[in-house]
A and B are shown apart, each in its own frame.
Chain A
């Protein structure tokens, strides 16, 4: 059996190690105070086909989320350009054009492209204007639907 003095020495050293370990922990908590743990929670964005988006009687506000160069070449007639790279500059144009009851449909290049979903999520989140849709198949689907 070890002498009591050895136990006391071990206990003191254990407390010292614990205190040392707490220093970086407290420092990090202080540095990151006010930050909340990210809660991964993406909004649900519904998709519409070309036919569904332009159903008779629907007032559609088309939003083109592609890069500016693609938009300049060709876009859905009447569409507004809105991409995240130029969000602050382009958002006022969207806000001026929006009307209550308008169906907002965002498109990008094709079904693989995620830009339209990200713009749709951001519009829903920031403007709180109700559901914003994504065009199924994107610009490629729109072009396909125009062929006779």
Chain B
């Protein structure tokens, strides 16, 4: 509660299926269940990437309102949470404001697990695997792999076209340090070409 304001919900769970979208938003509805007008005196957020807005500040007894919260995505992926704090004039100045929570699950177009495979010098020259899985409903087709150095050999296996691929890597020689970036040139349906980076390393 924020004093007389009673919230329909104080947290929102959102799945973002387009990691390149600029922002996402959630509304938090409330009702003034006290018998006097309540004014929202301060709304703050946990991050400059999050904004919160109200149509007006003062709500009569029984009146409904909502806070619209917008969170910038800006390249983030994975689980994020952002907070909005709402203080009202019917609470003491030092009271803890109401806290609204937005939890985001921002899906990646392509999950690459792991991003880097590595061997230590002297290790057996075993083949290692990178698993690539489409993370949203968009299909992701790996068109080619680009590598700068000939220190590793690799091959790609299609498990399910557009959804899952396996990349097998093996060092040419385990006796010297090496590092190579693998560029995965992909075509994401409805989005276009995107390049994701993985790496192989002998340390």
Interface residues of A (CB under 8 A from B): 32-35, 38, 40-42, 83-88, 91-92, 95-96, 98-100, 112, 114, 118, 121-122, 125-129
Contact = CB atoms under 8 A, between A and B. Distances in A.
Nearest to B181: A92
A8 B112 CA distance: 58
Interface stretch (B2-10, B91-99, B150-158, B194-202): B194-202
8 contacts: A38-B15, A38-B105, A88-B196, A92-B181, A95-B181, A96-B201, A98-B116, A121-B79
B78 interface: yes
B75 interface: yes
B36 interface: no
Interface residues of B, number: 31
Nearest to A42: B79
Contact of B116 (A83, A85, A121, A129): A129
A54 B146 CA distance: 37
B80 A95 contact: no
B120 A100 contact: yes
B77 interface: yes
Contacts, number: 73
List of 6 A-B pairs having minimum Cβ-Cβ separation, nearest first = A38-B105, A95-B199, A128-B114, A85-B75, A126-B115, A84-B75
Given A95-B181, A121-B78, A127-B115, 5 more contacts: A32-B137, A84-B75, A91-B115, A96-B199, A118-B80
B203 A99 contact: yes
A41 B115 contact: no
Interface in B18-39: none
B115 A95 contact: yes
Contacts of B115: 91, 95, 126-127
Nearest to B105: A38
B75 A92 contact: no
Nearest to B148: A92
B63 interface: no
B46 interface: yes
B78 A100 contact: no
B76 interface: yes
A91 B80 CA distance: 20
B85 interface: no
A85 B74 contact: yes
A58 B17 CA distance: 40
B103 A40 contact: yes
A128 B128 CA distance: 14
A125 B195 CA distance: 19
B59 interface: no
Given A84-B74, A84-B77, A38 B197 contact: no
A86 B76 CA distance: 10
Contact of B47 (A35, A100, A114, A122): A114
